[in-house]
Structure 1
C-alpha cells in the first residue's frame, strides 16, 4: 500500500464550501482524506461513464462467446477488436510493458494472467477476465468471473462468495465512510464462508488515470483508510482465495499472480462513483 500524504487544501482566498468544512473536520481529527483533485467534476464523471459503457459491452461480448476449447488469446482478440472498433483503447495493452489487451486469470491465478495461444479453456475451469477501457482520455475498469461448463461445488461457491464480497463492499461504501469500512465487511463475509482475502493487491482510484488514489484494500478495520467523499471514483475488486491469502508472482513473465498454495481464486470488479446517496456503478 502506498503511504499517502494527501490532504484537503482550499485554494487561498476561496470561500469554504459545506463540503470543504465537512472534509476538513475529518482531516482535523487526524483521518486520511483525499485531495480536492480526486473529486471528479460532473463532466469527468460523465466521461468515465461513457467509457464504462464500452467496458461493460466488452465483457458482455466475452460472456456471450467464452467456451471450452477457446484459447485465452482468442478472448484477448475479442477485447481488442471490440474496443478499438468503438473508438476506444484497451488500457492494459502496453501498460508498464503488459503485452495484451486484457488479463485472463484461470483457477489458481489470482490476477494479471497474460492471454496466449497455448492456454486453452477446459470444462470446469473458472476464469476472471479483467478489462480497462480508455475513451477520450477517461478510464473505466471491471472484471467478471466465468465458469466453463460445469465445475465443482467448491469452485461454484468460491465464485458466488467473491461476487457477494463485491456487493457487500459496495453496500458498506457510504459517503463519508472509510475504505476500512468496506474492507472490514468484505473480509468478514469471506472468512465466514471459509475463504481468505488477498492482501498484496487492492482496488484503486480510477478515471483520469489507470491507477489513482486511494488504495482500496479488501480487508481492514472500520474507521481506517481514506475518507470516501462524493465525487471520488474508484474500484472495488476483492480477490478471494479458497486457501491461503498469500500469493506469488510468476518469475518467468513477471506479471501472473498465483495463490501460494495453488488453490483457486476468484475476483469481481466494478468501477464506482461516490454520490451523496451512496455508490453508483459505472462498469459491470
Structure 2
C-alpha cells in the first residue's frame, strides 16, 4: 500500500527536508582533502541536533552512523570511518536523512574533493544529477510510477559518455516511497523493466525519494564484508543523487531542495506547489 499524505503531513515532511538540506550544506563545505568521512558524520550529527531532528540512518537495520559516505567506486551505504581520509581527486556521495516529529526526509549529493578532476567524472555527476531532475519533473498528476523510471533512464541513455561505451545504471538499488518510514512502498527503479508493469498512478499526497545511481562502467554491484558498503563489481567510480518530492493538488514540491525545486523544475516547464515554509 502507498501511504498518501495530507497537506499538513507534507508540511511536516518539508521541515524534515529542510534539515536534510542544512546537513548537505554543512557536509559539502567540509568535504576537503584531509578530512575523514567520520568528520563529515560528526558534522551531520551536530546539525541534526541543532535542528531538533534525529537521523533516520543511525540504527536502521544496525547501520552504525548518521549519514552514508560513499567514496569513488563505492555506490551507496559507505560507513563513515576515521581512517577513510579524503584525497584530492576523490569524489564522494553523501546520503543524509532527518526525522522531524516522526516524518522523514532523505537526499544525497555527489561532490568533488579538491581540484583537477577528470572530465569524465564531472560529466558522470552531471548526468546523474540531471537524470534525477528529469525523474522529479515526471512526478505529475495522472502519470504513473513507470513514467518516472522512464524519464530517468531516457535522460541517461541519451547522454554520450566520454571515451565511448554506456553508463551503468545501477540495477540493485533505486528510489522508494517515504513518509512515516524512510523506506516505504513503492520501490522505484531507475530504468524500465516491462514485467513490472506501469506501477501505481501518481496522485496528490504521493511522496517519493528519487535517487539515480550511475557508474562509469557496470550496472552491477556487490556488498563488502561489513554487510553495508556497496561497490561496483568492476571498480569503476560512481555517482549518486537524491531528492524527496511530494505531489500536491497544486503540483510537486521538492521537499529536500532549499527552494522547493522551483528553479530546476522550471527548466522542464513545471511549476512547483506553494512552499508551506517559505524563506526557510
Instruction: Assess same fold via TM > 0.5.
Output: yes
4+ long deviations beyond 3 Å: none
2:67 aligns to what?
102
CA contact (8 A) 1:102 1:115 kept: yes
Q: CA deviation at 1:277?
A: 4.7
Distance in 1, Cα, partners of 2:64 & 2:43 = 15
Distance in 2, Cα, partners of 1:244 & 1:277 = 39
Q: How does 1:22-101 map to 2 (within 5 A)?
A: 34=2, 38-101=3-66
Distance in 2, Cα, partners of 1:112 & 1:266 = 12
Distance in 1, Cα, partners of 2:183 & 2:177 = 6
CA RMSD of aligned residues (A): 1.4
1:254 aligns to what?
227
CA contact (8 A) 2:7 2:248 kept: no
Matched, 1:216 2:216: no
| CA gap 1:247/1:221 in 2 versus in 1, 3 angstroms | closer
The SS at the match of 1:114 is coil
Structure 2 stretches of 5 or more lacking a match?
160-165, 258-280
Among 158, 169, 187, the alignment partner of 1:197 is: 169
Distance in 2, Cα, partners of 1:81 & 1:45 = 25
2:241 aligns to what?
268
- Deviation string 1:211-242 (CA, Å, 9 cap, x unpaired) is 11111111116871222111111110000111
2:122 aligns to what?
156
- Deviation string 1:118-156 (CA, Å, 9 cap, x unpaired) is 101111111100011011111101111111122111111
Q: How does 1:105-124 map to 2 (within 5 A)?
A: 105-124=70-89
| CA gap 1:220/1:278 in 2 versus in 1, 3 angstroms | farther
The SS at the match of 2:247 is strand
The SS at the match of 2:105 is strand
Q: CA deviation at 1:109?
A: 0.6
The SS at the match of 1:139 is strand
Matched, 1:185 2:151: yes
Using structure 2 for the length normalisation, give the TM-score.
0.85
CA contact (8 A) 1:84 1:90 kept: no
- In terms of Rg, which structure is larger? 1
- Deviation string 1:83-112 (CA, Å, 9 cap, x unpaired) is 012211111111110000000001111100
